Structure 1
Amino acid sequence: MSARVDGAIGALYPFLDTHPTDVDEVLAAVARSTAEKAAEIVALRESLVAEHGQRLLDCAGRCAAAFRAGGTLFAFGNGGSSTDAQDVAQLFLNPPKAARPLPAISLTHDVALITALSNDVGFEVVFARQLAAFGRAGDIAVGLSTSGGSNNVLRAFEEAARRGMLTVGIAGYDGGRMAESEAIDHLFVVPSASVHRVQEAQTTVYHVLWELTQQALADER
């Protein structure tokens, strides 16, 4: 091990930023760091219940109504949020056994389409153009952004709102520009300065939204 590690790694794992002489000391520091991160995400997830509990119920009720009327869910985001968008679509479309499959599409899965739009028009429209082509009034647009400031996500919400779609935003930090947007019907903000904790808690938010939507659909049968 070198006397100092890369600054980015040291910022994430401070106990590696100096050269320890005791392996047991390093292992103890790793254990402490892991326990602290686990406690942090547990506390953050618990805080979301009080912050968003009723609002998640309200949103799930509107999502259930949209699905009953034949609506489709479209999910989108960039980077890690693009992976989460695919997870959202997969969760609704191909849920665990006994749950009701619901029409859902990730706008991040078609690499050819995304690169064509980025190259020919501009990256800021890669989601908005797809919603313009496929979205209908009564559909659902779910956009994820850790910063809340992704321009292409905001443009997509504006397009969705113009088309009469139900818009659901999931953001981090203080919500960024998503918190200022009038195009988002339901916004769920994970109040953390750590992008890692934000994305972990956002996963909880959309899984709870899916469960509540399933429950709302089941209650009305």
Structure 2
Amino acid sequence: MLERQNDLSIEEAENDSVSALARKVAFLGQPGSYSPALDRIQARETHMSWIIMNGARVYKLKKPVRFPYLDFSTPARRRAACLAEDSLNRRLAPDVYLGVVPLTESASGYAIGGNGPVADWLVVMCRLNEDETLEAMLRSGKARTADAEQLAAVLARFYSHAARVLIEPETYLASLHQAAVLDWRTLLKRSFGLPHGTISRVASVQRPRST
């Protein structure tokens, strides 16, 4: 009986979490939630976040999810993840990452950076031109070798001064393989409707070869 009650408590907590997430996303999707009010809002969902694009700004709300490689199941964990994302990415994109703000909740509802109790956390970013993303450049045939070389030079300079992390080569390769297997299993789900042949060919290239 006690075990059944525990199962119900977990299920109820998960349902409450999903309901709260839906309310937060609905609030962030309303033009009047921002000051000044906006004319158009775009929202995109990933497996771990909701991305809300409004004018020149982007707000990222992390979902209360838990996977083998991350845990966003509590507000404290989501806050820590937001702060880490902002801090890490500012090193290469200081003009894109603008900080972390609280999503607060009071009797009148949610507010971005309000005075009520904190309900969640948002990563704030500068919105970039989607026509200039790598995907868009590749699709349009505008990507140049010089662009790749410039990017490689920036990353080389960055990593040459980055703090070293000591890890055995075998351990590192094993972690890469584990991540790749998780990616394959996810991409091969029927719900995505992706070409299994293409994914399988990529997977065969990524699999470690015996020596």
Between Structure 1 and Structure 2, whose CA radius of gyration is higher?
A: 2
Structure 1 length as normaliser, TM-score?
A: 0.25
| Structure (1 or 2) with the greater strand fraction | 2
Structure 2 length as normaliser, TM-score?
A: 0.26
| Structure (1 or 2) with the greater helix fraction | 1
Structure having greater relative contact order (Cα 8 Å, sep ≥ 6): 1
